[in-house]
Amino acid sequence: MNSENVKVLIIGSGPAGYTAAIYASRANLHPVLYEGLQAGGQLTTTTEVENFPGYPNGVTGPVLMDDIKKQAERFGADIRPGMVSKVDFKSYPFKVEVDGGQKINAESIIIATGASAKYLGLGDEKKYAGAGVSACATCDGFFYRGLTVAVVGGGDTAVEEALYLAGLAKKVYLIVRRNVLRASQVMQERVAQKENIEILWEHETVGLFGNGVVEGARLVKKRGTVDEEFVDIAIDGFFLAIGHKPNSDLFVPDIDVDEQGYIKTHGDTTRTNIDGVFACGDVQDPRYRQAITAAASGCKAALDVERWLLSK
């Protein structure tokens, strides 16, 4: 099979990848974007998005992503289904394989493969997806105003999400599997001061129940000990906050990542350790992880690529 030559190859199709495609196509760089397994990225699994500027009445995740995609296509971005299965950064142009077959020679690459929220692996998480189960409090918390929710996890994300939800919900359970929090001291103090947050120490979730939507969670306390006991709590929302996994495996070890796997970028730019390879969106952002910040970094990546290509 012949190789195809591409000036800018964008890998990934969340807000970061699509926004990079808008900017790169408007700069006449004829970007080619491969969407990956989940076209549109994490946002396609959320329902209503109310915090993305420009949508005064809110928009669903899939519609938002489709709008950004269409905007990129309007300027000629070549957006294709397909999964990048192999990259070779040692030769230049970079060699890339898609779906184990199609070969691409890329002058520059923008990695926008995002991150995936970790789930517990319970069948009920799938059963109630979009019906009370969420992995993003800032996206979905607003729908639980005055209601009761649970957050699973004991790290900074879980505590931050519990604090955020405590400002909206009537009551927040924080389900922690050990008898200590992993979160930083300052966050622990904040959570201890919130009257409507109750920490359920040494509890693990074994199931969810409800008629079509989440109405409760079944927990096990002190699992595997003589004091083991099953506890049901009544909740309207169940939030996972047990960490995210950046989708960077394909690029390691060539691309430098931090201890959690997030791609390291240089200073305030999207440059990686490999000249000509850029990273944007959640795959390089352990901190903000918002659609708008991902879109902004996609814009930065396209501008960085444009300047880099001009300088060559």
**140 labelled catalytic:** yes
**280 labelled catalytic:** no
Binding mask 275-294 for ligand NDP (x = CB under 6 A): -----------x--------
Binding mask 76-115 for ligand NDP (x = CB under 6 A): ----------------------------------------
Rounded to a whole number of angstroms, the minimum distance from the CB of residue 70 to ligand NDP is 33
Which of 158, 137, 135 lies closest to 147, judged by CA?
137
Of 124 and 160, the one with the shorter C-beta distance to ligand NDP is: 160
| Beta bridge partner(s), residue 80 | 34
Of 87 and 242, the one with the shorter C-beta distance to ligand NDP is: 242
Selecting among 124, 140, 285, 304, the annotated active-site residue is 140
Of 82 and 155, the one with the shorter C-beta distance to ligand NDP is: 155
Spell out the residues 6+ positions from residue 109 whose beta carbon is closer than 8 angstroms to its own: 8, 9, 10, 11, 87, 94, 96, 276, 277, 278
Reported as half-sphere exposure (CB side, CA atoms, 13 A), residue 281 has a value of 31
**139 labelled catalytic:** yes
Binding mask 217-246 for ligand NDP (x = CB under 6 A): -------------------------xx---
Of 62 and 155, the one with the shorter C-beta distance to ligand NDP is: 155
Specify the DSSP class assigned to residue 266.
Answer: -
Of 70 and 126, the one with the shorter C-beta distance to ligand NDP is: 126
Selecting among 67, 99, 136, 285, the annotated active-site residue is 136
Q: Which amino acid is at 131?
A: A
Radius of gyration of the chain (CA): 21
Which of 106, 97, 99, 69 lies closest to 82, judged by CA?
99
Q: What angle separates helix 291-311 from helix 15-26, to the nearest 10 degrees? A: 40
Is the sign of the CA dihedral 71, 41, 242, 262 positive or negative?
negative
61 touching ligand NDP, by CB under 6 A: no
- Please identify which residue in 177, 190, 218, 223 interacts with ligand NDP, judged by CB under 6 A: 177
Residue 253: asked if its preceding bond is cis (omega within 30°), the reply is yes
Catalytic residues: 136, 139-140
Interface residues toward ligand NDP, by CB under 6 A: 120, 152-158, 160, 177-178, 182, 242-243, 286
